[in-house]
């Protein structure tokens, strides 16, 4: 029981502004990663599109996130993290609200409209998330920072659990109310409207976050040597390869379970919800994992586990296999992201952390876009088994790369900055 109460106890120990940021993250997760992420794929399939379009649809979202990653960091520096996060949340709401309007458009515009909604929604979320990481860093101490990042992952998983579970139930409830079957598009279209309404609530805690508190530690980033090209480049390569397992399942597991296995939306939502429930508590094991062998070793183990999670999808080709694969990728994905953030923050000097995080986020968007876009054609030509095998192979390669970096830590070393002269001002 005490373990279950640990997240709540930890949350109460944070600064007020940290609590507000974490609350906004949880609310956005309910809508963006929960309700919207589940229903949008099922809605696209009900409109008559196949795996190629699903791949293009998901890739366009990754492209929007990737394109806005570096500009988001720049805008946050110029305009302030808090204001930029508010703008990002509002743009995300607009992007989500566009998708259920697809059927009202003329036929010539319908193919492009969902793509545009994905780009806008993901671009808005980039404005929020790229500024969330440096804001959280500025508001936390070195002693509480790892716990704060782990808590952000926990709350995002909790929000996604609530969103996917409720999102999976919405089509059945709405279909009964409308008197139509689950093969119709209307229950999914109406369900998609819940997402932007919930996302609007995230703006409220963001508006109460004090900008001064976020920028107060900016002087910490004024010192540092030259930009660490080699370490950042190696992290980017690792991210592009390592995210493949999670990206393949995130982009296509719902489509696979719906089109290939014939599972109901409620079952798909229940499977995703079970994975998200595990993802709530999975980040709490990170401190213990890192204490044993270090951050690099922990990231290696998590990446290897994510790749291995695809094996049930590849070998079993049943509902149970899909459930195991989805469960594993969700739980380990909740550990992978905060572990990557901590690993990067401890590797890169403070002076370059924002720029480096923008570059790594761009790589994450590129990785997801490539996996989504090519994955749609792979699934169409050779089947979903070949697609998941590709994700497995790429993530295994990333684990091998991290093993090499752990064995050769000098490759991630950065030039020590020249000590700043002592002044009285």
pLDDT at site 425: 37
pTM as predicted: 0.74
pLDDT, mean of residues 242-266: 88
- The pLDDT, as a whole number, for residue 183 is 85
pLDDT attached to residue 214: 47
The Cα-based distances of 252 to 61, 349, 393 in angstroms read: 14, 37, 17
Q: How far is the CA of 51 from the CAs of 39, 59, 278, in angstroms? A: 16, 12, 28
Instruction: Enumerate the H helices of 141-216 as residue ranges.
Output: 142-178, 186-192, 194-200, 203-207, 211-215
pLDDT value at 201 more than 90: yes
Most trustworthy range by pLDDT among 46-55, 189-198, 330-339: 189-198
* Residue 175 burial (CB count, 10 A): 20
Residue pair 46/188 in contact (Cβ under 8 Å)? The answer is yes
Average pLDDT, the chain: 83
- Taking the C-alpha atoms of residue 102 and residue 120, their distance in angstroms, rounded to an integer, is 15
- pLDDT for 399 equals 95
Burial, 25: exposed, middle or buried (Cβ in 10 Å; 0-12, 13-18, 19+)?
buried
Could you tell me the CA-to-CA distances from 386 to 132, 304, 375, 376, 389 in Å, in that order? Answer: 36, 19, 9, 11, 5
> For 279-315, what is each residue's pLDDT tens digit?
788 888 877 777 777 788 989 999 999 999 999 999 9
Using a 10 angstrom Cβ sphere, with 0-12 exposed, 13-18 middle and 19 or more buried, the burial of residue 418 is exposed
Whether 148 shows a pLDDT value over 60: the answer reads: yes
What lies within 8 Å, CB to CB, of 108 at 6+ separation is: none
Tokens of 254: 């719902």
Closest by CA position to 101, among listed 116, 88, 123: 116
Domains recognised in the chain with CATH numbers: 10-214+228-412 (1.20.1250.20)
CA distance 36 to 395: 26
Percent of the chain with pLDDT over 70: 89
Instruction: Tell me which of 199-208, 216-225, 295-304, 359-368 is least confident.
Output: 216-225
**pLDDT the model gives residue 215:** 45
pLDDT band (50, 70, 90) for residue 265: confident
| Residue of 346, 342, 352, 331 lying closest to 149 (CA atoms) | 342
Residue 8 has pLDDT above 60, yes or no: no
């Amino acid at each position: 029981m005490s373990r279950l109460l640990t997240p709540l106890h930890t949350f109460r120990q944070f600064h007020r502004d940290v609590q507000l940021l974490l609350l906004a993250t949880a609310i956005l997760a309910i809508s963006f990663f929960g309700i919207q992420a589940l229903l949008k794929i099922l809605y696209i399939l009900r409109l008559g599109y196949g795996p190629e379009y699903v791949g293009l649809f998901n890739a366009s979202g990754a492209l929007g996130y990737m394109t806005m990653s570096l500009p988001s960091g720049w805008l946050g520096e110029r305009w302030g993290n808090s204001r930029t996060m508010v703008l990002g949340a509002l743009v995300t709401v607009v992007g989500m609200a566009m998708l259920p309007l697809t059927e009202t458009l003329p036929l010539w515009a319908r193919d492009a409209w969902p793509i545009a909604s994905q780009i806008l929604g993901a671009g808005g979320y980039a404005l929020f998330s790229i500024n969330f990481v440096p804001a959280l860093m500025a508001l936390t101490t070195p002693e509480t920072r790892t716990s704060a990042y782990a808590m952000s992952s926990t709350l995002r998983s909790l929000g996604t659990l609530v969103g996917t579970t409720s999102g999976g139930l919405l089509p059945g409830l709405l279909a009964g109310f409308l008197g139509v079957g689950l093969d119709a598009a209307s229950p999914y279209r109406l369900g998609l409207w819940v997402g932007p309404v919930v996302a609007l609530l995230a703006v409220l805690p963001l508006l109460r976050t004090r900008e001064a508190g976020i920028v107060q530690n900016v002087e910490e980033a004024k010192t540092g040597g030259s930009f660490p090209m080699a370490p950042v480049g190696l992290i980017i390569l690792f991210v592009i390869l390592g995210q493949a397992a999670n990206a393949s399942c995130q982009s296509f597991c719902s489509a696979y379970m719906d089109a290939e296995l014939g599972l109901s939306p409620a079952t798909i939502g229940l499977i995703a919800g079970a994975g998200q429930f595990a993802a709530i508590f999975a980040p709490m094991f990170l401190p213990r994992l890192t204490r044993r062998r270090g951050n690099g070793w922990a990231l290696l183990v998590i990446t290897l586990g994510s790749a291995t999670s695809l094996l049930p999808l590849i070998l079993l080709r049943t509902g149970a296999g899909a459930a195991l694969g989805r469960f594993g990728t969700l739980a380990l994905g909740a550990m992978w992201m905060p572990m990557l953030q901590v690993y990067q923050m401890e590797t890169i000097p403070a002076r370059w952390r924002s720029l480096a995080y923008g570059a790594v986020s761009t790589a994450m968007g590129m990785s997801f876009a490539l996996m989504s876009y090519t994955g749609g054609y792979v699934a169409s030509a050779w089947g979903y088994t070949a697609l998941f095998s590709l994700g497995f192979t790429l993530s295994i390669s990333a684990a091998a790369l991290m093993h090499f970096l752990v064995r050769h830590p000098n490759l991630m070393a950065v030039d020590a900055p020249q000590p700043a002269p002592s002044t009285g001002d």
